[in-house]
Amino acid sequence: METTYVKKLALLAIFSALGVAISPFTWFVAFGTKAYPAQHMINAILGVLLGPLWTTIAAIFIGIIRNILGTGTVYAFPGGIFGGLVVGLVYWVFKRLKLSEKIRLAAALCEPIGTLLIGAPLAIFLVAPWMGPQGYSATLLDLTAIEGPLFGYLIFVTWWALSCVPGTVLGFTVLVVLKRIGISRETLFGEK
């Protein structure tokens, strides 16, 4: 039990450091938020390898450090936390249903559910208003005022999807490669 905890803590530290290290090279601005595909990649990988709690902790660490370094925004939290949480929970459900290990890897592809269906509404309707006019780009504010909040939400989600979907696919690809070389949650922690 103690060895498993130490391994999980080590993976948490490694992937958190990786998330911070590659952030200056993998982001782009979309409607006042910095889109970060690497966070979604890490969510997909850690959600499968470590589970929901550890993945959530990693997303929080990465978000805090990125904000301190100026490579992230407050949107790193709703944009990062919920994707990893959903991946970990879906993996757990697949495992409880005794689905094959190959199918369990597909849990990584559920990252956009958490990011786009949970994180994005929280970001646009709860976080952005507290940020004032700088919380949204001027264009998004104008569109929201003209077309309504649902239209603004759809634009926001579209931009987040441009970050989320490629990051998730990359994370799934990494998991498939790791599985082919014999590295999986089961081999790392002796789980069945």
Distance CA 59, CA 151 (A): 28
In a domain, 192, yes or no: no
Q: Which helix (H) or strand (E) holds 153?
A: helix 149-180
Distance CA 143, CA 68 (A): 31
In a domain, 79, yes or no: yes
Instruction: Give the chain's domain count.
Output: 1
In a domain, 158, yes or no: yes
Q: Which of 153, 137, 168 is closest to 44 using CA atoms?
A: 168
Distance CA 143, CA 150 (A): 10
**What DSSP character marks residue 181?**
T
pLDDT (tens digit per residue) in 127-143: 766 666 555 555 555 55
Between residues 66 and 135, which one has the greater pLDDT? 66
- 9: domain CATH number is 1.10.1760.20
In a domain, 171, yes or no: yes
- Average pLDDT of 93-98? 94
Between residues 1 and 172, which one has the greater pLDDT? 172
pLDDT of 81 over the 60 cut: yes
| 168 and 112 Cβ atoms separated by less than 8 Å | yes
pLDDT (tens digit per residue) in 15-57: 999 999 998 888 777 665 667 899 999 999 999 999 999 999 9
The pTM of the full predicted model, rounded to 2 decimals, is: 0.88
Q: Which own/partner pairs from 28-33 qualify as long-range (CB within 8 Å, at least 24 positions apart)?
A: 28/163, 30/159, 30/160, 30/162, 30/163, 31/136, 31/137, 31/139, 31/140, 31/155, 31/156, 31/159, 32/73, 32/134, 32/135, 32/136, 32/137, 32/140, 33/73, 33/75, 33/79, 33/123, 33/159, 33/160
Per 3-state DSSP, the chain is made up of helix, strand and coil in percentages (nearest 5) of: 80, 5, 15
pLDDT of 149 over the 80 cut: no
Residue 57 domain boundaries: 2-187
Q: What's residue 75's pLDDT?
A: 81
Q: What is the dihedral of CA 11, 94, 107, 10, to 10 degrees?
A: 0
Beta-bridge mates of residue 30: 33
Distance CA 130, CA 49 (A): 35
